Structure formats: structure tokens, C-alpha cells
Structure 1
């Protein structure tokens, strides 16, 4: 069995942090620092463990943030000596975010220095939230840094909806200030950076679909294979939702001469079980067509309404007069992110984002009452 995530930080992390800070500052009281942490850390979860160490740093480092930041900087790995890296630096993020707000340039400089050894994407967000213009003016320069970890921080740290991190409401509402950063990085030579750019654009697409579709259109012409992958990955939510321009950007035009028929293997599914169906696609036109075939399951909710979830199917090229068929089996089994309710559900098949066929089926399963661990979608 895998170790719980909280064990990524533990008593040894606290001791290693104490040793590093003691080497960087003769005035640091190592024993008092550890006395604040070790008696309680085993009873805490991951983020709480990092925060406990961060709080202890605040109590035992100088009150002057500039002095404290210099000490923490000297705890990082250097060209001739080892230093702290990995999850030990989560507490540095938390300390800087809490206590460096009045020292923007120093704080961002320290987060930039530590990001090659862990990440600074969580620590920089309070600064963007509070002083967006000043913070982004600094972060924008990181897009041209020789270190790919720093370049990634410029895109990942500014994501409007970064998972597991505080949301940036102003950038959710208006993401235009970070578009120049993303444009500077779409041709980056590191996949690690390009993937972050794609994820940021996908975040933006959830609130500004047309903006991202236009962005992709502007940068698609003459794009390399790597850039095309980035732009398509950035469009994944839009494509899944059938956004017309996003689909057209990748050759999935509206179809008038392609037809779909749907055959169910069974119209009643006993939970847990499988729902089988076959999709037939025919090109009745005189030209080959590129077709994206997806399907949606409209799950029944507790109140009887239906909530759709789209599942990826296949991308096909169909010659004139050609018919293609493929079978799918959709599993209904216990998962931690969904409560299944018995009753009528619906299957819909989409071509290039447009619903072309559908059928109802019944799920005969008792409702799961474990509401504390699962949720409806």
C-alpha cells in the first residue's frame, strides 16, 4: 500500500530544515525550532505539516523579512554545496506568502530562486492577487529565463484556476494580462513548459471560450508539431464541449452529409455492470470528411434531473460513400467521484461537437448513500 501523502513531510524534514537554517544563521536556535514542530507534526496532514514548519520559521527567523529571506536563500542548493530541495521547500512557499507581502521584489526573487528545486507556483499567487500589475511585470521577465523551471513558473504560477491553489479572481475575469507571457512561451523547447502553457489556456477557456479559440487560430498557421500539440491540448475543454471555432481550428467542420445511427446492446444496466452500444457513421457526400466522434452519458441525479459527462471517442477520416462502425462498452462501477442513482439515463453521440443521435437506457442500481465521500456531477 502506498504511503499517505502527508509523509512527504515529516520529522526528518523538520530536522533537515533546522540544519540548513542553522548553517545559514549562527543566531538560529535549532533546538527551540524543533521543539515547536516535532511534538505535533505526526498528527498533522501534509499542508498542515508544511505550515507548522513555516510558522516555526517565522518565530525563529529575524523579524526583518529582508534578513530572513537572505537566510532562506542561503539554505538552497548552491554550486558547491547541497541544500534543501523537494517537499522541504513547501514551508518556504508558505512562509514567503504569509510574511513577504510588503517585500514584493525580494519575495518573488526568492521564489524564483527556489523553483528549480521544488516549485514556487503556490507562493507567488498571493502577490499576484494583491499587486497584480507589479507582480506580473516581474514575472513576465521570467518567460525568457535560461532555466526552464523558472519559465514554467511564469505560466504555471499565473494560471487563473491552478488546481489545489488559491484562485486568481481578477485573472479569471480578465486573463488578458497573462496572454503575453503565454505567447512568449508557446514555442518553448521544453515539453514541461509547453504543457503548462496549454493548461493555462485551458483554464482560461472555461471562462472565455472565444478568446482561447481566437488565440489558437492566430498561432496555428505554420505551427510546428509541438506547437500544434500545445494548441490542441489547450483546446481540449472547448473541443469536448463542441465549441464550433475550436473544432474548426483542427479541421472538424460542421457536417451536413455525414449521418449517425446508434444501436444499443442493452437498454437496461444492472449496477455494477456495462452498457454496450455500437455507433455507425456514414459519409453520404462526395468528399472525405474528418470526424470527431464523442459520446455523452447523461447521469441521473438525486432530484431526477440529468447531468451530462462527455467521453472521448474517436477521430476518423471517412471517404465518400464509406461507412464505419465501432462498438463501445461503458462501465458503471463504484468510483469515489460519483453517486449513481437508479432510473432513466441517456446516451448521446456527437459528431464534431454536435449531437446527432441519442437513446435512453435504465440503470437498475440502488442509490449510494455515502454522501460524505461522493458527489453528483
Structure 2
């Protein structure tokens, strides 16, 4: 059985006092013109109260205090600092300096971001350039899609994602999330899994706003190349969880399945926050041939006022032979996340096979 991954509770501490010392040391090693004391003073002031991305911006502003006012000179130091950093988020904070102070020097800043992304992704720093001059920035990123470095190719896709988490929205992508299609086409057979994951996530973003466009586009992609087939499967995950027949067909799955559910349970039937449920199912094929099955489960989380909100989780995808029975199981700890809060009450759980609900169960979260 597997458990749901948790987000680190103190993510912001990645950019804590030790990180500031590392960044200061990198600046001092890079240039005698870096003011270590000024940086540490400015960066430490008010740091405790800030979230992780607020700290990214705060550190970038502290770098402004420590670096020469001449932007090209400061940029040379920034580029020399990057290889001396010890964590990707330190580098993200350094790339943010380019986003905040380099918008008026497009060519030098974009070239710097292509270099800096190799040490910590420049996906957030690229967004202001896309917002300022979308066509020019996009043209640069289309060229990046052919770069020999996988980090730069990944930035070409990730930086222009319509719904990039934690990032500012770009007006041109909000009005048309398909604008980066040439980049996605260029990368659909990329040899790097790092890049392919970004392409799949980018396409999954589009699925939430333009599902028909996505389905039409992916229907035209040959899946003879396993790299493309991998992207298609992961790009369609939102639509597959919704049971979209066209999405299921694109991964070779029919809508619905010739199966019976002999057993579906959630145990215990009641628990308190912080405790664990076990979900178990037994599925038997009634088909005369082998079937491709995509099995998910949907938890309807209780909300205030008697309402509920459903969330679909992956259970298993597999081939089931004629007459064969498969026993499935998964565990999940019921705890609060920043993106999901739990409330006492009845939580219905559905077993979904190839987009169709086949069985239901439930559990109760007790008060306190």
C-alpha cells in the first residue's frame, strides 16, 4: 500500500539563515564588489514572517542592496554566484533578481536566465518577461526548445505553462493557453524525462481550460514513440480522472469495463484527523478477452453547511485477463494540507473503473 505524499511543513525554512550565509558567501567569492554585510542585514530583516516565495522576492531585493547599481556589472556577479549555491531554491532567489531588475535589458537578462536555470529553475523569473513582451519572450523560448541542455529545454516548456504553480499569471496565456504549442510540438519526443514531465504538466494545464483543443492535438500525435506515449498518458490525467471517453480512448482504454466488483471497502468506518484509512477492492473480469483498466477512487470531502467536494486519486492501471480477479489496495492518512482542510462528517468514497463509478463506500471523520 502507498500513502499520499505530504508537502514539507516548513518549506520556507529552505531559505532560512543558513541559506542566506551560503548566498552571501557565493557573492563574496564571486566579486569584491559584493557587500556581504549589507546583504545579510537586508535579507535577515523580517525574514521569519515570510512564506517561501515571499522569501525569494525578499532575497532578490536584498541582493539589490549588495550588488553594483550598474545592471550589467551586477548580472556578471549573479552569474558567477550561481555555481557556488547549494540548493535549487537559493538559485531561484538569485534568478529573481533578474526578474525584478532586468526587464529593461531583455537580451542580457534572457541569456542570463538560460544559464541560471541550470542551477535552479528560472521558471518563475521568466514570467515578468512574458508579461512585458510576450511575443519576443516566446520567440526566445521557442529557440530554447532546441537547446542541447535539458534544463534550458525544460525552461522553454515550464516557464510558459498557463497555470504554473506559485507563479504570476501571464495575460496572453490567460486569454489563450495554447500559445506555446510550437514548444510542445518540438519537445514531444524529448529524450529527457525531466523535460517530458514538464511538457505533460503543461498540456495538463491546457486540459483544464481547453480540453477539446488538447484532445484534438494529442489525437494527431503518433504514440509509436514511447516517449510521446508517456507524455500523452500523463497529459491526460485530469481528463482521465473525469472519465472523459476521448481521453480514455487515446490511452487505449474503453469507456466502462466488463467487470464486477465483488468487494469494496474503506476501513475503519470512523476515525479522527491524523488517522489512516485502508481502501480495498476486488475486481473480476466478465470479458472474453484481456482488458486495459484504469482504476481510481474519488473521495467526497465533507464541507461546511452539508456540502461536499470530490477529489480523484489514482489507484492502479493494469491489464486484466479474461475471467481474472484483481485485488487492489491503498492507504491514505487523513490529515490537513495547505490546499485541503478536513471537516467532521460523512465522506463518501467511489470506486471508478474506466471512467465509470462501479461501487461506493464511506467513512466518517469524528469531531476533535
Query: Would the TM-score normalized by the shorter structure come out above 0.5?
Result: yes
User: Which residue in the other structure is 1:202 paired with?
Assistant: 204
Deviation at 1:307, TM superposition (A): 1.7
The superposition leaves residues 315-346 of structure 1 with CA deviations (integer Å, 9 ceiling, x where unpaired) of 343344x1524253654533435444343332
CA contact (8 A) 1:289 1:317 kept: yes
Asked if 1:5 corresponds to 2:14, the answer is yes
SS of residue matched to 2:179: helix
Instruction: Decide whether the 8 Å contact of 2:266 with 2:278 is kept in 1.
Output: yes
Query: Superposition pairs for residues 165-244 of structure 1, below 5 Å?
Result: 165-223=167-225, 225-244=226-245
Deviation, structure 1 residue 72: 3.5
User: Does the 8 Å contact 2:264/2:282 carry over to 1?
Assistant: yes
Residue 19 of structure 2 is aligned to residue 16 of structure 1: no
From 296, 308, 311, the equivalent of 1:294 is 296
Matched position secondary structure for 2:248: helix
Which residue number corresponds to residue 61 of structure 2?
55
Provide the C-alpha distance between the structure 1 equivalents of 2:266 and 2:178, rounded to a whole number of angstroms: 48
Classify 1:43/1:119 alpha carbon distance in 2 versus 1 (closer, same or farther; 3 Å): same
**Distance of 2:145 and 2:315 partners within structure 1:** 36
Match of 2:45 among 35, 40, 53: 40
Native 8 Å contact 1:121 1:156 kept in 2 = yes
Distance in 2 between the 1:332 and 1:50 partners?
A: 31
Deviation (angstroms), 1:198: 1.5
Larger radius of gyration: 1
Alpha-carbon deviation of 1:275? 5.3
SS in 2 for 1:155: helix
What corresponds to 1:129 in structure 2? 131
Pick the aligned partner of 1:68 from 71, 74, 91.
Answer: 74
Structure 1's 37 and 309: CA in aligned 2 closer, same or farther, altered over 3 A?
same
Unaligned runs of 5+ in 2: 1-8
Report the alpha carbon displacement of residue 64 of structure 1 after superposing the two structures with TM: 4.3
Determine the structure 1 residue equivalent to 2:6.
Answer: none
* 2:285 aligned partner: 282
Q: How does 1:286-365 map to 2 (within 5 A)?
A: 286-320=288-322, 322-328=323-329, 330-331=331-332, 333-336=334-337, 338-359=340-361, 361-363=362-364, 365=366
- Structure 1: unaligned runs, 5 residues or longer: 23-27, 78-82, 369-377
* Matches of 2:188 and 2:57, distance apart in 1: 35
TM-score (norm 1): 0.81
Distance change in 2, residues 1:335/1:57 (3 Å) = closer
**CA separation of 1:88/1:333 partners in 2, compared to 1, >3 Å: closer, same or farther?**
closer
Distance 1:267 1:333 in 2: 12
User: 1:305, CA displacement in angstroms?
Assistant: 1.5
Partner SS for 2:169: coil
Contact conserved, 1:293 with 1:314, CA < 8 A, in 2? yes
Matched positions, count:
353
In angstroms, what is the RMSD of aligned CA positions?
Answer: 3.1
